[in-house]
Amino acid sequence: MTEKVGVLGEKQAPRKAARRTGVERVVNAPLPTVYGKFQAIGYLDHDRGDEQVALVYGEIGSEDVLTRLHSECLTGDAFGSQHCECGDQLASALRAVVAEGSGIVVYLRGHEGRGIGLLAKLRAMALQAEGLDTVEANLALGLPVDARDYGVAAEILRDLGVRSVRLMSNNPRKREALLRHGIQVAEEVPLLIPPCENNIRYLRTKRERLDHRLPHLDAVAHWS
Ligand SMILES: [Zn+2]
């Protein structure tokens, strides 16, 4: 090993940069939106390299904070895709937090297609257009049905001083994941979006195969 020599010629021990781990709060910026004025708090996840953001509205306390952990979905959130109901869920969550007067929407990057990534999600959507359901499509691609991790979300909530949440979700696994990571879930608040012809099959699969609580689907007539 070559010894490093400083400018004055003395030997220096090779310096090892201390590698940070976990989630670091990097920035806090005001974010006025059509829903209301949020604070966008940006985090860097040193373990995965993801840039994350939490939108905070009003003065949040530490208990029973109305919270949505929203899995990134480019097609649903930005393009208004009707394949899934993500875009409407995000808008509903932001509206609900504003109506409540305070709350948090953590937007989780790296969660595309339940964690398989954007291109794999598009491949899975192509398979669904051929008749597979959303679970079968992931499996046909040799990918996990749900690869999402909520450890980062829990770390972000802890950084925001939150100990317990009222969680806007229909997915029992999110609650379990938060509990595992040390955040209490005081209540689960359903986030039910009226289905449309394009997503009814997808939503029924989420209910039947992924245990999502979607009781409102009962009222929907079968679309052919
Ligand atoms: Zn989606």
Neighbours of 215 (CB within 10 A): 10
Q: Which residue has the higher pLDDT, 15 or 127?
A: 127
Spatial neighbors of 115 by CB under 8 A, at least 6 apart, are 71, 144, 146, 147, 148, 149
**Burial group, residue 12, by CB count within 10 angstroms (0-12, 13-18, 19+):** exposed
Q: What is the pLDDT of residue 51?
A: 97
Ligand 1 centroid – CA 135 distance (Å): 14
Q: What is the CATH number of the domain that holds 60?
A: 3.40.50.10990
Least confident of 101-105, 109-113, 218-222: 218-222
Under 8 Å between Cβ of 49 and 40: no
Residue type for position 181:
H
Any domain includes 127: no
Give how far Cα 6 sits from Cα of 1, 10, 114, Å.
16, 6, 50
Does 73 fall in a domain? yes
Q: Which residues are catalytic?
A: 146, 148
Could you give phi then psi for residue 190, rounded to 5 degrees?
-60, 150
Which residues are part of a known binding site for GTP? 68-72, 89, 112-114, 134, 169, 174
How many domains are there within the chain?
1
The answer as to whether 179 is a domain residue is yes
- Output Rg (C-alpha) for the chain, integer angstroms: 21
DSSP for 77-105?
A: HTT--SSSSHHHHHHHHHHHHHHHT-EEE
Average of per-residue pLDDT values in the chain: 90
The annotated binding site is made up of 68-73, 84, 86, 89, 112-114, 134, 169, 174
**What is the arithmetic mean of pLDDT over 156-165?**
98
Q: Write down the pTM of the prediction.
A: 0.85
- Whether 131 is covered by a domain: the verdict is no
Query: 64: left (phi > 0), else alpha (psi -120 to 50), else beta?
Result: left
Instruction: Tell me what pLDDT residue 179 has.
Output: 97
Phi, then psi, of 119 in degrees rounded to 5 = -65, -40
Annotated binding site for Zn(2+), which residues? Answer: 73, 84, 86
Q: Among the ranges 3-12, 97-106, 137-146, 193-202, which has the highest mean pLDDT value?
A: 97-106
Give the model's pLDDT for residue 19.
80
With bands split at pLDDT 50, 70 and 90, how would you rate the model's confidence at 100? very high
Distance, CA of 50 to CA of 42 (rounded, Å): 11
Task: Give 76 Cα–ligand 1 centroid separation in angstroms.
Answer: 5
pLDDT tens for each residue of 18-39: 788 899 999 999 999 999 999 9
Question: Is 133 within a domain?
Answer: no
Residue 197 lies in a domain: yes
Structural domain boundaries enclosing 158: 30-39+56-111+148-218
Q: What is the pLDDT of residue 221?
A: 66
Average pLDDT over every residue of 92-120 = 96
Residue 212 has pLDDT above 80, yes or no: yes
| Ligand 1 center from residue 89 Cα (angstroms) | 9
Asked if residue 11 has pLDDT above 60, the reply is: no
Note the pLDDT of residue 4.
54
Residue (of 171, 202, 166, 206) closest to 65 by Cα position: 166
Number of H helices, E strands in the chain: 8, 9
Ligand 1 centroid distance, CA of 152 (Å): 20
At 13 the pLDDT is: 58
- Banded pLDDT at 217 (limits 50, 70, 90): confident
